[in-house]
Amino acid sequence: MPNYLAPGVYVQEVPGGPRPIEGVGTSTAAFVGVAPLADARLNEAVFIKNLAHFEKTYVGDSQTSTDLYRALLGFFWNGGRRCYVVNVGAGNPIAGDARKRTGLEALVAKDEVAIVAAPGYHDPLSHNALLSFCERLGDRVAILDCPPDVQDIDALKELATVSGAEGGEEGGEGGAAKRGGRKGASKGLRPPVSDGGYGAFYFPWVFAPDPISKLPVPTAPSGHIAGIYARVDGTRGVHKAPANVVIRGASGVVYEVSREEQEGLNPNGVNCIRIIANATRIWGARTLAEAASEYRYINVRRLINFIKGSIEGGTNWTVFEPNDTTTRQSLIRDISNFLRAQWRAGALVGADPNQAFFVKCDEENNPQEEVDAGRLWVDIGVAPSKPAEFVIFRIAQSAGQAGTEAGAGGG
């Protein structure tokens, strides 16, 4: 209590009312690879605001095009606005060193990053590094590229094994897998399972203009897809599956997947890029989780990341507050208000908020021994919106109409 020593009127500012939880960003991407200027800003996580900014920093007068350069072009073409770039230099792995903060590890402290890609890196070691990085941090997802030239479609269904060095020298260009494989490599091309759905795998590569020659060339799709993630987030919301969306700048695919082939690939977590209605579109929204997992759709994984990050950032005020009824009721109120807004936006399903989510923070899940240990528990459940992946029309002839027509024609 303040000391009041002189007569008079005193005004105090006291906190009151709800503390709105603001949604965290979901569309900031990060790209790891080899820049045209291979020694430019090595292993630094550099914020890039547009293509001209990237070209000034990493291209300059160079007449060299790399997978990273083509990915940035596709990212900004498709709606991306914010990204980080880590140039690992020619011949270096993307995983990097955690202590030195190189490669992927240069992005550890960039909390706003929600999407990670290594354009053109398609070997098992790179896929493992991307998935492990995203799973460890738990707040971002990886977009994984397939090899540029897949000779056996069935190999995309079989898990790849890790052996030998990374397959790409310059973002996948000239890599062992492209050269026809390497000693000890299995024929499997599918990335490992991610139980939490922290990665999505896309096939095939697309034809897109090269930033140097301006001619259509085979291009790793991860940069274009990251831009689509950002575009859909801005126009529809992170809960919308980034699929059935036209890939801007893509004039075709290096391999045309048939419907029959996709029926075998889709259950195995391979998202196909296909020519649908005369346009190049993403025609899949699966993660690398098992088919029965609650995280089998990429929009569900990203929505949960969004909810986790938003609640974490919006409830920091509770740290060191008394673990009492007032604090608990405030948490229930603030979190419920945030989740109710998500339900109204269509991110959560249910006829009413009670069906869409619940928030529990009381004496039952905060017994005295937990309070004494300095822990405050909040149990939250949500019902995320899932895409209508299979739209089924049941069509049958009407026997009544057929009989009427036959009757009308008789006599």
Three-state secondary structure of the chain: CCCCCCCCCCCCCCCCCCCCCCCCCCCCEEEEECCCCCCCCECCCEEECCHHHHHHHHCCCCCCCCHHHHHHHHHHHCCCCCEEEEECCCCCCCCCCCCCCCHHHHHCCCCCCCEEECCCCCCHHHHHHHHHHHHHHCCCEEEEECCCCCCCHHHHHCECCCCCCCCCCECCECCCCCCCCCCCCCCCCECCCCCCCCEEEEECCEEEECCCCCCEEEECCHHHHHHHHHHHHHHCCCCCCCCCEECCCCCEECCCCCHHHHHHHHHHCEEEEEEECCEEEECCCECCCCCCCCCCEHHHHHHHHHHHHHHHHHCHHHCCCCCCHHHHHHHHHHHHHHHHHHHHCCCECCCCHHHHEEEECCCCCCCHHHHHCCCCCCEEEECECCCCCCCCCCCCCCHHHHHHHHHHHCC
Pick the CATH number of 29-301 from 3.40.50.11780, 3.40.50.720, 2.40.430.10, 1.10.10.10: 3.40.50.11780
Which pLDDT does position 100 carry in this prediction? 96
Which pLDDT does position 35 carry in this prediction? 98
| Greatest C-alpha distance within the chain | 111
Query: What is the C-alpha separation between 42 and 103, in angstroms, rounded?
Result: 9
Which pLDDT does position 7 carry in this prediction? 84
* Residue appearing with tokens 């303040």: 2
Query: What is the C-alpha separation between 178 and 175, in angstroms, rounded?
Result: 5
Which pLDDT does position 91 carry in this prediction? 92
Beta bridge partners of 280: 275
pLDDT, tens digit only, all 411 positions of the chain? 567 778 878 777 666 667 899 999 999 999 999 999 999 999 999 999 999 999 999 999 999 999 999 999 999 999 999 999 999 999 999 999 999 999 999 999 999 999 999 999 999 999 999 999 999 999 999 999 999 999 999 999 999 987 644 444 444 443 333 323 334 445 899 999 999 999 999 999 999 999 999 999 999 999 999 999 999 999 999 999 999 999 999 999 999 999 999 999 999 999 999 999 999 999 999 999 999 999 999 999 999 999 999 999 999 999 999 999 999 999 999 999 999 999 999 999 999 999 999 999 999 999 999 999 999 999 999 999 999 877 777 788 876 654 444 444 443
Which pLDDT does position 399 carry in this prediction? 66
Which pLDDT does position 184 carry in this prediction? 43
Beta bridge partners of 281: 246, 274
Beta bridge partners of 115: 29, 141
Which pLDDT does position 1 carry in this prediction? 59
Domains of the chain by residue range: 29-301, 324-411
Q: What's the one-letter identity of residue 24?
A: V
